[in-house]
Amino acid sequence: MERLRSSPLHANISTALDKHLESIHMVQTQRKDEIVSASSRQRHGPPRCQDERVVLALAVALRALCLATRKVRTVLWCAFQMTLPK
């Protein structure tokens, strides 16, 4: 979009994209932790409290991803509108 516009976009656009990517990485990390926790629970028996913390951490990461996705969709729409010819 910056190439189409021949000028840099607002700094909030790149910030929102960075935050969205960071949220994606956080969900991936939490999901890996959940998988490891589930596989170790099958081997050693059910430690319920630890398992609930892992699931809650994943839920928090998913909520942050949802919010970041909404924001980045809005920011990209605004950036698209700025690149359209007048």
**Residue 86 CA from chain centroid, whole number:** 33
pLDDT at 62: 97
pLDDT at 1: 67
pLDDT at 2: 67
The pLDDT tens digits of the residues spanning 27-72 come to: 999 999 988 888 776 666 555 566 788 889 999 999 999 999 999 9
Q: How far apart are CA 28 and CA 48, in angstroms?
A: 22
pLDDT at 42: 63
Q: How far apart are CA 58 and CA 53, in angstroms?
A: 9
pTM of the full structure: 0.80
Q: Hey, where are the domains in the chain?
A: 8-83
